[in-house]
Structure 1
């Protein structure tokens, strides 16, 4: 059995949401600490880490205590990057592998970096018959989005990479991104290692919301 892969000094982007593997996250970056980080990651072709906030705000407020970060996050690679004006970057980040923070450190200019251990990828688990409505509803949503002009697509609804409507983890992750969930619930789903259980929980949420039968 191979040792888990670790990364040192991974730059972190704390957010009031969670990024899931294979998901796509649009970001607007204007703080100096993150403009510098994104520029360096783009030039090096290197990832950064998206972590959910346990406490604090996405935008640093003078005099406020440092942010508190959740222990599990997701590697993010820059898929699209633009600079519409000086001091502003827009990008789409693609979620890759989850990680667990081993040690974290806040640099003088406010950027968090961490030594992390990568977590195992989800095993491929076929969507069982009783959870198929969740997969069907997701496919229908994506088909409706694909048929709309880009300007009519709701903010944040980005069709994820490499569609896999027959895989429990992929379907659960996409719904976890789309549903209007409290951050604590979304983070809990991210930390679950069993993709079947993750999809079962999501299917219950969909049923309560009347989204899938």
Structure 2
């Protein structure tokens, strides 16, 4: 799978706007739009998003999320702007670099966990998510979380909250919805000063 290493984490159902300027990523976007195939977004643990001659290669996370382009536009600064949406989580086993410097990975898609019922104790997270939806930046993303599915609520909230990326990366890796929701609950309590 072609990979887009980024210093940010994407979740299934989450959306993100990117500016594309490196030729390898212009090629990746063109190929993805032409084929309709997703590409992988993977978190950079260490290193830089922009390729620099003579610099050590970036250290990538062990898992990521496949992404599909849902919108694109020419930005006022002349760069290509795209909006991507997260689809499926994957585990990254190995990478190689093509001649055009594009990183491709050997990945295994994780099984879709399927919807998880919302527990009454998680209602506060639905409230926070609904209040975030009123924000103009969030409205622009046109998200459509399923408020009856704990995975959807948790992943959307994790995508939108101003958390450190290493925490988001950890949350993306959780395979139990209870772990995700309890971590988000703890984090929200810290943010509100209750933790």
Aligned to 2:8: 17
Give per-residue Cα distances to partners, 1:37-59, cap 9 Å, x unaligned.
11111111111100000111111
Aligned to 1:88: 79
Q: Secondary structure at the match of 2:126?
A: helix
Q: Which consecutive unaligned segments of at least 5 residues does structure 1 have?
A: 1-9, 146-152
RMSD: 2.1
| Cα deviation, residue 155, structure 1 | 7.8
Q: Secondary structure at the match of 1:170?
A: helix
Aligned to 2:165: 183
Q: Secondary structure at the match of 1:97?
A: strand
Aligned to 2:91: 100
Which residues in structure 2 correspond to 1:118-197 (within 5 Å)? 118-142=109-133, 144-145=134-135, 153-154=136-137, 158-160=141-143, 162-197=144-179
Matched residue count: 194
Q: What CA distance in whole angstroms lies between the structure 2 residues aligned with 1:211 and 1:124? A: 31
The answer to whether the 8 Å contact 2:132/2:138 transfers is: no
The answer to whether the 8 Å contact 1:21/1:98 transfers is: yes
Using structure 2 for the length normalisation, give the TM-score.
Answer: 0.91
Q: 1:159 to 1:84 in 2, by over 3 A?
A: closer
After TM superposition, the structure 1 stretch with the greater mean CA deviation from structure 2, 184-193 or 60-69, is 60-69
The answer to whether the 8 Å contact 1:135/1:166 transfers is: no
